[in-house]
Amino acid sequence: MNLETLILAAGKGTRMKSKLPKVLHKVCGKPMLQYVIEAAKRTGSKREVVVIGSGAELVEKTFSGVVEFAVQEEQLGTGHAVLSAKKNFAESKGTLLILCGDTPLLTSKLLKDFTAAHEKSNCAATVLTADMPDATGYGRVLHENNGTFKKIVEEKDANDEQKKIREVNSGVYCFDVQKLFAALEKVGNNNAQGEYYLPDVLPILKAEGNKVGVFKAEYCIETIGINTRSQLAAADKAIRMRKEQALMEAGITIIDPNTTFIEDTVKIGQDTIIRPNTYIEGNTVIGEDCEIGPNVRLTDMKVGNKVKVQFSYCHEAEILDGVTLGPYVHIRPGTTIGQNVKIGNFVEIKNSNIGEGSKLPHLQYIGDTDVGSNVNVGCGTVTCNYDGKKKYRTTIGDNAFIGCNTNLVAPVKVEDGAYIAAGSTITKDVPKDNLAVARSRQVNIAVWDDKRK
Ligand code: UD1
Ligand code: CA
């Protein structure tokens, strides 16, 4: 079959009360329009055209190179939106799948069944409907006495009797592309909203002697449209549950899916365990056999295998195999934590490399630093990387031992095997295997107490 797709995404999204175009609001980490585009592509669509209008520039920028665009200068309704893309389909033949940019839960399974049913039916148009427990805000589907499709009545145009109907228009349609554009010219705007409604093209096609079919989705959740922030939250939860279900099916343990927030973009390896109150976001990739959580937030992280993280926040950084992190660690952008490193108990690391097997177990700030392998960084060590104007790097060689409460004033280098005495403020490089003591010598004054008397 020759299937092309048109996605309507020019609307203002007034009910969202937002500065951001509605279709760019994120659902489980991705703009809602992205789900619709991906579902269309997985359905076997050969081409996707997106109608843009409100916030057009931003929508175009987000999806440039992924889809084609048609511009609807003024938002005069869904029928008008489709007409704005007329020239994009001047040469097209076959089926045009129409989707709305605000229905992110659509699955390609449903769309495949729907388009296949349309192709088989010899209908000029088929509308995807669903029985909604709460149909408020949707167009209601009216049938003839013989059960065939009659028309769709928008909520704002419906009488009390029609408002009781639970079968709604999902905003998804298949059309014979050339018949659609011919009939669309005849759609008027004599309705409560003064808009050109796309569903009004259906009775017109019928009156011209075409068959119009109805295909009801089995699960109404897949067709929900997002018009408000509370519907956004509901969609977010539904996609999150879908994602977590897929992860569990792939061999990942999620102790409590209800208190775990994994964005759709995230990848996790087999036999990793995710504990409650954990947020895994953006382009985070986690390996196998890890234990993540409780109370962890990972954003755009690359995490190896057998990594354990608890009560911590890590973003835009990399953690290699066998690392133990937490509790209370903040790993900031530009950091690489080497294999089998241990970091825990109130430690912040920024733009640094920590070599294999090193230990940073208590109360450290490490910024702009290269730490070698098997280094022991004592409790309370601070790299002084900022002089008020510029940032400088600190280098610590392999097998070095940094005593407790050390200040390393950058730029400074502690060479391999060097020792730093506790309480030192290091301002000069320390040669290989040397002991640096940079504090005043202790003086014990025996008469001190007598004098006071
Ligand atoms: C629409 C349908 C309704 C259906 C519901 C399903 C119409 C008239 N109504 O209502 O029957 O039950 O979807 O979710 O079609 N858009 C444009 N240009 C416009 C207006 C809208 O591109 O001028 C886009 C929007 O960005 C949105 C989609 O079309 O992605 C649907 O518009 P929306 O205003 O959300 O329509 P509903 O009131 O939900
Ligand atoms: Ca809508």
- The string of pLDDT tens digits covering residues 172-223 is 999 999 999 999 999 999 999 999 999 999 999 999 999 999 999 999 999 9
351: left (phi over 0), alpha (psi -120 to 50) or beta: left
Q: What is the mean pLDDT of residues 222-235?
A: 96
Strands annotated E in 39-193? 48-52, 68-71, 95-100, 125-131, 140-143, 149-153, 167-176
Is the pLDDT confidence value at 453 over 70? Answer: no
Q: What is the pLDDT of residues 39-83, one digit of tens each?
A: 999 999 999 999 999 999 999 999 999 999 999 999 999 999 999
Q: What's the pTM? A: 0.93
Which residue, judged by its Cα, is nearest atom 35 of ligand 1?
Answer: 227
For residue 249, how many other CB atoms are within 10 A of its CB? 8
CA distance 347 to 364: 5
CA distance 452 to 212: 103
The alpha carbon of 300 is separated from its chain's Cα centroid by a whole number of angstroms, namely 10
Is the pLDDT confidence value at 450 over 90? Answer: no
Give the strands of the sheet with 394-396, arranged side by side: 267-268, 285-286, 302-303, 318-319, 336-337, 353-354, 369-371, 394-396, 412-414
How far away, in angstroms, is 452 Cα from ligand 2 center?
A: 82
Q: Is the CB of 81 under 6 A from ligand 1?
A: yes
Q: What is the DSSP string of 247-270?
A: HHHTT-EES-GGGEEE-TT-EE-T
Which residues lie closer than 8 Å to 252 by C-beta, 6 or more apart? 268, 269, 270, 271, 272, 273, 274
Is the pLDDT confidence value at 264 over 90? Answer: yes
Q: Is 78 helix (H, G, I), strand (E, B) or coil?
A: helix
Give the model's confidence band at 147: pLDDT under 50 very low, under 70 low, under 90 confident, else very high. Answer: very high
Beta strands 376-377; 401-402: pairing state: parallel
Give the model's confidence band at 387: pLDDT under 50 very low, under 70 low, under 90 confident, else very high. Answer: very high
Give the model's confidence band at 12: pLDDT under 50 very low, under 70 low, under 90 confident, else very high. Answer: confident
H or E segment to which residue 115 belongs:
helix 108-121
Lookup: tokens for 287: 């390996």
Q: What is the mean pLDDT of residues 146-165?
A: 97
Q: What is the DSSP string of 263-328?
A: -TT-EE-TT-EE-SSEEEETT-EE-SS-EE-SSEEEES-EE-SS-EE-SEEEES-EE-TT-EE-SS
Closest listed residue to residue 203, CA positions, set 192, 194, 195, 212: 212
pLDDT at position 448 is 64
Q: What is the DSSP string of 390-420?
A: -B--EEE-TT-EE-TT-EEESSEEE-TT-EE
Q: What is the DSSP string of 157-172?
A: G--HHHHT--EEEEEE
Which residues lie closer than 8 Å to 97 by C-beta, 6 or more apart? 3, 4, 5, 6, 40, 43, 45, 111, 115, 172, 173, 174
Q: What is the mean pLDDT of residues 263-290?
A: 98
pLDDT at position 419 is 98
Q: Looking at ligand 1, which atom is closest to the CA of residue 54?
A: 26
362 a catalytic residue: yes
Give the model's confidence band at 1: pLDDT under 50 very low, under 70 low, under 90 confident, else very high. Answer: confident
Q: What is the pLDDT of residues 397-409, one digit of tens each?
A: 999 999 999 999 9
Domains defined for the chain, CATH in brackets: 3-223 (3.90.550.10), 250-436 (2.160.10.10)
Beta strands 30-31; 26-27: pairing state: antiparallel
pLDDT at position 452 is 63
Q: What is the mean pLDDT of residues 219-228?
A: 95
Q: Is the CB of 171 under 6 A from ligand 1?
A: yes
Lookup: tokens for 61: 């920028």
Give the model's confidence band at 169: pLDDT under 50 very low, under 70 low, under 90 confident, else very high. Answer: very high
How far away, in angstroms, is 351 Cα from ligand 2 center?
A: 44
Under a CB-based contact definition with an 8 Å cutoff, are residues 375 and 398 in contact? yes
**What are the CA-CA distances from residue 56 to residues 59, 72, 102, 190, 338 (Å)?**
5, 9, 15, 27, 44
pLDDT at position 95 is 98
How far away, in angstroms, is 49 Cα from ligand 2 center?
A: 18
pLDDT at position 447 is 72
Which residues lie closer than 8 Å to 230 by C-beta, 6 or more apart? none
Give the model's confidence band at 445: pLDDT under 50 very low, under 70 low, under 90 confident, else very high. Answer: confident
CA distance 23 to 29: 13
Residues with CB under 5 A from ligand 2 (ion): 102, 225, 227
Q: What is the pLDDT of residues 308-352, one digit of tens each?
A: 999 999 999 999 999 999 999 999 999 999 999 999 999 999 999
For residue 276, how many other CB atoms are within 10 A of its CB? 15
Q: What is the mean pLDDT of residues 242-250?
A: 98
**Best of 86, 99, 100 for a ligand 1 pocket test (most atoms within 8 Å of beta carbon):** 100
Is the pLDDT confidence value at 449 over 70? Answer: no
Q: Rounded to the nearest 5°, which phi and psi values hold at 173? A: -145, 155
CA distance 225 to 216: 16
Which residue, judged by its Cα, is nearest atom 31 of ligand 1?
Answer: 100
How far is it between the farthest Cα atoms of the chain? 114
Is the pLDDT confidence value at 107 over 70? Answer: yes
Q: Give the end-to-end CA distance of the chain in Å, rounded to a whole number.
A: 103
Which residue, judged by its Cα, is nearest atom 13 of ligand 1?
Answer: 171
| Burial grade of 176 (CB within 10 A; 0-12, 13-18, 19 or more) | buried
Lookup: tokens for 158: 């419906």
How far away, in angstroms, is 102 Cα from ligand 2 center?
A: 6
